[in-house]
Amino acid sequence: MGEAGTYSGLWQAAEHIELRRNEIERVLRTISTAAACRHEISATLRTLREAPHRQDAYIRPAPACRTVAVFMPGNMLLYSAALYGIVPSFACGNLLLRYGESAQSAGLSLWEILSPGVPPNIQLWMGDRDSFLGVAGRADAVVFCGTPGTAARVQARLGVRGPFLYLGSGMNPFVVTATADIPVASATACSERAFNGGRDCLCPDLFLVERPALGAFVECLRAKIANLKQGVLSDDAVEVCPITNDAGLRRTERFLERFRDRVCIGGTFDRSSGILEPTVVVHEPDSFHKPPEFFAPVWNILPCGTRHSLDTVLSCPPMTDRAQGITVFGEPTFDVPAAYSAVAYDTGLQQIDDGNEPFGGWGGDASYVAVGPKRFRHPVLVARELVRYACSRQTEGEVSPQR
């Protein structure tokens, strides 16, 4: 496919999504809130429409790899289809993608709508995980979205010849300094943590609040949280919905059990509805505990007394290993560690997220590209990595795979 075909293919995919927006919304609404659904469709369209100019060097006429296998995330199904499927499909001969078990049904319904308008070299794999592992083991490159432990086990099992691209989730600390605009900071903290019921990899798992701002921040947050509607996904106004990720629920329950005496708002889980009421945990000052990835509406607050305590927390290995994005409200009183690849000043990470920029961070468990035993830790843009690998093989005297 020539340059014009690549451009028209991306624009065609965007127009197809726009044309069938209502059908796509109905599918996404089975797993997402109305607000998250609208955000996801907008982000997808923006990515596809800007990709011809933003990723021009990577979506080339000659495919960089014959076959790419993609282990998709279980949320943001449309956006991830664009990031890991539609855009990089122009850098490979064939692209096979598979959604996780919990998203198989919605993924199939979504792909039935998408397939007439996206590049024909993308195929949705509906077999079980073991059969897909067999296919992925024969692929030229693998993209894996998930936890670092699972990624390491999958990579070891596959023994992939080409690059293994890992995209994880960050802790995404949200820092509130003493000079922050507290009403704005608390409103953003509320919306960022509650986004899609708290089930998104950009949701902050840790709020670091300087002690002079703590009281006002918690009280403003309390007022904002009180207005979050709880209920089922079919209700357009709902922002706090049932937790469907069993592993995330277990992590959250263990955390809340451990810190039950530090819960100052909420904390009750209704097993009949599957809803955890919005919960705020305020720890003892400067008592850092590595938080889990909640995938739930939990505001986990650590008061910080000094610049040194902020620096210590943000630069400790449990934080930098998963460092991706960081949010800062107020005048920064610390140096942002280099491991964080995205910094949102006085706004949220959802607002600066850009599908045409590399995603991840510089930590060991944030994102990386592994080729054999070598692991290169840096933010990942899938099409870019496929082309880089092909170019490196050509430099070594090999001919990159053709369609």
Whether the predicted pLDDT of 272 surpasses 50: yes
The domain of 246 spans 174-352
pTM for the predicted model, two decimal places: 0.93
Q: Is the same domain home to 62 and 207?
A: no
pLDDT of residue 403: 30
Cα-based angle 347, 351, 354 (whole degrees, multiple of 5): 135
Under the banding of pLDDT at 50, 70 and 90, the label for residue 395 is: low
Q: Is the same domain home to 159 and 184?
A: no
- What is the tally of helices (H) and strands (E) in the chain? 14, 16
Under the banding of pLDDT at 50, 70 and 90, the label for residue 60 is: low
Cβ atoms < 10 Å from Cβ of 402 = 9
Q: Is the same domain home to 135 and 204?
A: no
Cα-based angle 197, 203, 205 (whole degrees, multiple of 5): 110
End-to-end CA distance of the chain: 10
Q: Is the same domain home to 159 and 233?
A: no
Q: Provide the 3-class DSSP secondary structure of residue 243.
A: coil
Does 40 fall in a domain? Answer: yes
Q: Is the same domain home to 189 and 205?
A: yes
Task: Tell the residue number behind the tokens 């993609």, with chain if given.
Answer: 70
Question: Are the CB atoms for 24 and 115 separated by under 8 Å?
Answer: no
pLDDT, mean over the chain? 92
Q: Is the same domain home to 218 and 344?
A: yes
Does 131 fall in a domain? Answer: yes
Under the banding of pLDDT at 50, 70 and 90, the label for residue 5 is: low
Q: Is the same domain home to 144 and 193?
A: no
Q: Is the same domain home to 226 and 346?
A: yes
What would the two tokens of residue 332 be?
A: 């920064």
Whether the predicted pLDDT of 61 surpasses 70: no
Task: Measure Cα distances from 398 to 91, 162, 375, 390, 401 in Å.
Answer: 18, 13, 21, 9, 9
Q: Look at the chain and report how many structural domains it folds into.
A: 2
Q: Is the same domain home to 147 and 9?
A: yes
- The CA distance from 169 to 160, in Å, is 23
Whether the predicted pLDDT of 114 surpasses 90: yes
Percentage of the chain beyond pLDDT 90 is: 81
The average pLDDT across 125-149 equals 94
Report the CATH number that the domain containing residue 255 is assigned in CATH.
Answer: 3.40.309.10
Question: Are the CB atoms for 83 and 112 separated by under 8 Å?
Answer: no
Q: Is the same domain home to 79 and 217?
A: no
Q: Which is nearest to 202 in space by CA: 362, 351, 334, 303?
A: 351
Output 366 or 57, whichever has higher pLDDT. 366
Under the banding of pLDDT at 50, 70 and 90, the label for residue 3 is: low
Report the CATH number that the domain containing residue 26 is assigned in CATH.
Answer: 3.40.605.10
Q: pLDDT per residue over 298-326, tens digit each? A: 999 999 987 788 999 999 999 999 999 99
- The CA distance from 104 to 125, in Å, is 9
Whether the predicted pLDDT of 400 surpasses 80: no
- The CA distance from 97 to 95, in Å, is 7
Does 401 fall in a domain? Answer: no
pLDDT of residue 373: 86
Q: Is the same domain home to 24 and 155?
A: yes
